[in-house]
Amino acid sequence: MTNSVGFVIPELFAFETPLDLERGGSLPRYDLMVETYGALNADRSNAVLVCHALSGDHHAAGYHEA
């Protein structure tokens, strides 16, 4: 058994349009950093979204030892 998550692709998406915040105010621009692991299957049913804002880092896999 391997502990590798396989091929990881980090991507940066830069948004130049304002993002309105729920409690008022807005961000004039923002960046979204994501990583993808593996590939989508033919019907695109194997995607999983992991939100981990508390880590302060986009690298979700490999932070803790198995």
Band (pLDDT 50/70/90 cuts) for residue 55 is low
Closest CA to 7 of 61, 66, 64: 61
**pLDDT value of position 41:** 92
CA 2 to chain CA centroid, Å, is: 23
Spans of all domains in the chain: 8-55
pLDDT tens digits for 18-50?
999 999 999 999 998 888 888 889 999 998 877
**Residues facing 12 on adjacent strands:** 33
pTM given for the model: 0.58
